[in-house]
Structure 1
Amino acid sequence: MSAIRPARAEDAPAVAAIWNQIIRDTAITFWPTERSEAEVAAIIAQRLADHAFFVALRDGQVAGFATYKQFRDGGGYRHCMEHTVYVAPEAKGAGLGAALLRAVEDHARAAGHNLMIGAVTGSNDDSIRFHRRMGYDDWGRIPDAGYKFGTYHDVVLMGHKLT
């Protein structure tokens, strides 16, 4: 059984565990260092104040999370958002990613935002397929935009109009 709900401060350890495995072991994110539970708690608090931060529960345990923020700084981008969606490896394929992305999109739409963007590592074929299934189009590729594990990686910008 699974559910989506807004994150709480006490979710920080479980969110950090999911995020840090991705940071440590993959080029899905270019973030170079693991995030402390305190840092994750602060991100959750800030995102809840500014936009949204959701967790997916599977059998009562946090198995994924999603959040969003403004795509770029400046007032001209105030309706253009970028999301983050991560699901624990053992929970993939259960529909949690789709449910989390829909929750983020619904929240952003209700807040009056116009666009949602996913910045996907070019070699992350699973995420590219996921975004396409969710109605996202390829909006561009930035070659060698990120650097991790001694290699440059492309970023594929995938977007979806919310309104």
Structure 2
Amino acid sequence: MNITIRPLQMSDIRLMTELLNEIIEIGGTTAYLNPLPEAELASWVARGTERASWTIAEDDTGKLVGFQWAEPHALLPPEAASIATFVRVGVVGRGIGKRLFAETSKHMKRFGFEWINASIRSDNDSGLRYYAKMGFKDWKVDPDAMLSDGRITGKHHKRYDL
């Protein structure tokens, strides 16, 4: 499978929403528990600052197979960005996340960030493995972190120094 990495276009929002909602609907270990309307994801993109990066992964047929974004976050210091990564069910483990991160980390360096934070549910084994493979290290673990439905899953906050 050939993968192309490119910047987000507003026409990608519908496919990004479908990909994310598929993960949510199968009970994936994302922090999002309820399907998102397309307008909500579009509002996240629209709120973006000049220091936000939205990157798309497509296969050789043009099908969206993953996306990643990183941006400033109110709970982090100004030198840190927060990152999120989503890869289509069934194509995980094919280097898509690695290729997305290579592009995103270049953007974050160019934007002047010193480090990137990934906050991952403690029960998200694949997410924890992915960020560890990218070189992220735990800097804070919250064993009592709770989801919006009241379940306690814990959360690992991982740091990647640029």
TM-score normalised by structure 2 residue count: 0.89
**The structure with more strand, counted as a fraction of residues:** 1
CA distance in 2, matches of 1:65, 1:47: 15
Aligned to 2:128: 128
CA distance in 1, matches of 2:101, 2:27: 21
Q: Which letter maps to 1:37?
A: E
Q: Which moved more, 1:2-11 or 1:34-43?
A: 34-43
Contact 2:30 2:124 in 1 (8 A): no
Write the deviation string for residues 38-75 of structure 1: whole angstroms up to 9, x where unpaired: 2222222333654111110112111100001223358x
Cα 1:104–1:93 shift into 2, 3 Å: same
**Would you say how many aligned residue pairs link Structure 1 and Structure 2?**
160
Cα 1:146–1:30 shift into 2, 3 Å: farther
Contact 2:51 2:108 in 1 (8 A): no
Aligned to 1:65: 67
**The structure with more helix, counted as a fraction of residues:** 1
Q: Which runs of 5+ in 2 are unaligned?
A: none
Q: Which letter maps to 1:157?
A: H
Q: Which moved more, 1:89-98 or 1:47-56?
A: 47-56
Contact 1:145 1:153 in 2 (8 A): yes
Q: Which moved more, 1:25-34 or 1:131-140?
A: 25-34
Aligned to 1:38: 39
Aligned to 2:57: 56
Cα 1:50–1:114 shift into 2, 3 Å: closer
Contact 1:47 1:67 in 2 (8 A): no
